[in-house]
Amino acid sequence: MKKKYVVQICLWSILFFFGTLCVNAPAAEVLKGKSVNINTATVEELVKNVPTMTLELAKNIVKYRKENGDFQQKEELLQVPGMNRTLLKKWDSFFILEGIGGKDCTC
């Protein structure tokens, strides 16, 4: 009989321990900012409105856009030096694509 109770106590202790870990797990990071059009945003607008955006990366985005034209898809940001998939996913809701194609676009 004693063995049965020891096993039950051990199991309940383990469940309690892991349950406590789940309750104390950090909440998902909530980012606050404003949406920006990546085809028109200035360096200052990117830094001001996109949470944790660095000055260097904002400059790289604007420079890339000036040299290569408007972004057609958000994934093109991965070509910008310093940008990676983690950042793109983190900032996806802050990036808007408008003005694609220019005035002569037939799309």
CATH code, domain with 79: 1.10.150.320
Higher pLDDT: 66 or 99? It is: 66
Higher pLDDT: 29 or 94? It is: 94
pTM of the model: 0.65
Which residues in 53-87 are b (16+ Cβ under 10 Å) and which e? beeebbbbbbebbeeeebbeeeebbeebeebeeeb
pLDDT for 7 equals 60
Total domains, the chain: 1
In a domain, 106, yes or no: no
Query: How far apart are the C-alpha atoms of 61 and 64, rounded to whole Å?
Result: 5
pLDDT for 107 equals 43
> 78 near 84, Cβ under 8 Å?
yes
Query: How far apart are the C-alpha atoms of 11 and 63, rounded to whole Å?
Result: 59
Residue-range definition of the domain harbouring residue 87: 36-96
In a domain, 81, yes or no: yes
Confidence of residue 17 (pLDDT cuts 50, 70, 90): low
